[in-house]
Amino acid sequence: MVKVLIADDLADGATDIFRNRGIEVDRKVGLKKDELIKIIGEYDGLAVRSACKPDKDVIAAGENLKVIGRAGIGVDNVDVKAATAKGVVVMNTPFGNAITTAEHAIAMMFSAARQIPSASQRTQAGEWPKKDYVGVELFAKTLGLIGAGNIGSIVADRALGLKMKVVAYDPFLSAERAVQIGVEKVELDDLLARADVITLHTPLTDQTRNILSADALKKTKKGVIIVNCARGGLVDEAAVRAGLDSGDIGAAAFDVFVEEPAKSNVLFGAKNFVATPHLGASTVEAQDNVAFQVAEQMADYLLTGAVTNALNMPSVTAEEAPRLKPFVALAEKLGQFAGQVADGELSEVEIEYEGEVSQLNRKPMTAAALAGLLRPFLEEVNMVSAPALLQERGGQLKESKRDDSPVYDSLMRIKVKVGGKWRSVAGAIAAGRPRIVEVKGMALEADFQPYMLFVNNSDKPGFIGAMAGLLGEAKVNIATFNLGREASGGDAIALVGVDQDVPVKTLDAIKALPAVRYVTVLKF
């Protein structure tokens, strides 16, 4: 029975979704770290919001843990690196609260422009401070977006409706997408110089931390309004306070802070500052949406292998999963083959897709191939961690695809460059099973066996009999025997499926045969 733990306060409907799909679910909110560590090993999935913090110790204790679902956008509370290394998929729900968060940013922009909270408080205290609140119009002003993803694009849409001009800084924003959402793509310094209002919509990473630093804020217009409803740490809070006190910054509105809960903060008490307690996603609709979405995503993954909104794994739809499954298995085995014959420094990897498979979602197949490839080199590697590990090792990856395949409906080829020389192996699906169909460019067909003797030799008479004799002497039973060659008397290969591992002494004897260039035992 698949089991999921809900460790944060999620809408009740999330529990119903799991149970209706046949997944056992426990709801235990407010667990201390040591309490969570004691029980996490029982569960296949962990659903959280922001209070529960699955760090490396919790993840290490999750012996059966396969997926962590974060009901919300940010995953600051999840050790994604540790999860990736352990093969645990980390999912979030980037769209469930996007509208709510964007609307809050717009509300904060208006609040800062007109100082509504302060005016309300003083009015209700019996004052009539009309002369103290001369605000600014947003009409025709320039809004600078830092981050133009899902939430940022919604903010842009609302701002354009207010007849504002929108400029955006986002390294991942294409020129085509900028035109589509109606913004002007600019560099950060250009945005700082032109924007009347700056609003942030980016995750907190090493690249975005303190993106609005003291130096950056010095480049802004006098009287600029700063809105942060994204993540604490994107803005230098002390520098904003200094700007508010000097008047260089006209107003600021923050929903997020470096330290939360923010019981005190350098910004509190500043003139023209508006604060809310991380309310960006706090609407009834958003709370329900993210809870339901994370439950559906986790259930899909645990039951079908479908991957949605994962931070460390390629997405696979429920419809794609059955079609991809045999090709993912083939990719992993081909990767294992290539990894076991790569007896030197791995510098480049090329994966070629031919025929129908080239039209499928190739990312999970590539991830599986890399996992198989790196397994002989690394103790712990999986589909989730493999792409990052290859990059860390300095390996270059190249993919290519062809719409047709000369012989097979679908063919996958893996080439690895080791010590300046290329090694290649190709495979296909035949009768529903993964098969080897080419090695070193030589055609042959062989099923994968738990143990396979791989020999590269010269095509000379007597070689096969001599090798078979040595295996017979060692009482190693031959299960399958497949041959390929370039031409008579030329380069040849033999793939011999055997029922047990080949003793080192026998391998040495085979290597000593005059025709043999290379021999090893492959294990699958």
Of the candidate ranges 242-256, 274-288, 373-387, 495-509, the one whose mean pLDDT is the lowest:
373-387
Which residue in 260, 319, 348, 380 is the catalytic one?
A: 260
Phi, psi torsion values for 261, nearest 5 degrees: -60, 140
Q: Is 393 known to be catalytic?
A: no
pTM surpassing 0.85?
Answer: no
User: Any idea what DSSP says for residue 204?
Assistant: -
Specify the pLDDT at position 242: 98
- Cα distance from N-terminal residue to C-terminal residue, the chain: 28
Report d(CA 334, CA 429) in Å as an integer: 12
Specify the pLDDT at position 316: 86
What's the average model confidence in pLDDT over 451-474? Answer: 93
Of the candidate ranges 232-236, 286-290, 406-410, the one whose mean pLDDT is the lowest:
286-290
Nearest to 252 by CA among 105, 149, 33, 122: 105
Average pLDDT, the chain: 93
Specify the pLDDT at position 379: 62
Tell me the pLDDT tens digit for each residue of 366-389: 999 999 999 888 766 878 888 878
From residue 221, give the alpha-carbon distance in Å to each of 113, 248, 251, 495, 501. 15, 8, 12, 71, 73
Phi, psi torsion values for 231, nearest 5 degrees: -145, 140
What tokens were used for 380? 């712990």
Looking at the chain, the whole-number percentage of residues with pLDDT higher than 70 is 100
Residue 65 has pLDDT above 70, yes or no: yes
What's the average model confidence in pLDDT over 83-105? Answer: 90
Band (87; pLDDT cuts 50, 70, 90): confident
One DSSP character per residue, 447-506 reads: E--SEEEEEEEE--TTHHHHHHHHHHHTTPPEEEEEEEESSTTSEEEEEEEESSPPPHHH
Domains and CATH numbers, the chain: 3-93+286-304 (3.40.50.720), 98-275 (3.40.50.720), 317-448 (3.30.1330.90), 450-524 (3.30.70.260)
Tell me the pLDDT tens digit for each residue of 397-427: 999 999 999 899 999 999 999 878 899 999 9
What's the average model confidence in pLDDT over 439-446? Answer: 94
Q: Is 231 known to be catalytic?
A: yes
Tell me the pLDDT tens digit for each residue of 468-499: 999 999 999 999 999 999 988 899 999 999 99
What tokens were used for 406? 């000369």
Which residue in 231, 241, 362, 423 is the catalytic one?
A: 231
Cβ proximity of 44 and 64 under 8 Å: yes
What's the average model confidence in pLDDT over 188-197? Answer: 98
Tell me the pLDDT tens digit for each residue of 24-59: 999 999 999 999 999 999 999 999 998 999 999 999
Tell me the pLDDT tens digit for each residue of 329-371: 999 999 999 999 987 778 899 999 999 999 999 999 999 999 9
Residue 116 has pLDDT above 70, yes or no: yes
What's the average model confidence in pLDDT over 140-145? Answer: 98
Residue 126 has pLDDT above 80, yes or no: yes
Q: Is 260 known to be catalytic?
A: yes
Band (75; pLDDT cuts 50, 70, 90): confident
Among 70-79, 93-102, 265-274, the range with the most confident prediction by mean pLDDT is 265-274
Band (72; pLDDT cuts 50, 70, 90): confident
Phi, psi torsion values for 309, nearest 5 degrees: 55, 40
Band (115; pLDDT cuts 50, 70, 90): very high
Cβ proximity of 182 and 156 under 8 Å: yes
User: Can you name the residues that pair with 67 across neighbouring β-strands?
Assistant: 45, 89
Residue 320 has pLDDT above 80, yes or no: yes
Band (259; pLDDT cuts 50, 70, 90): very high
Specify the pLDDT at position 150: 87
How many other CB atoms are there within 10 angstroms of residue 472's CB atom?
11
Specify the pLDDT at position 383: 84
Of the candidate ranges 3-17, 72-86, 239-253, 495-509, the one whose mean pLDDT is the lowest:
72-86
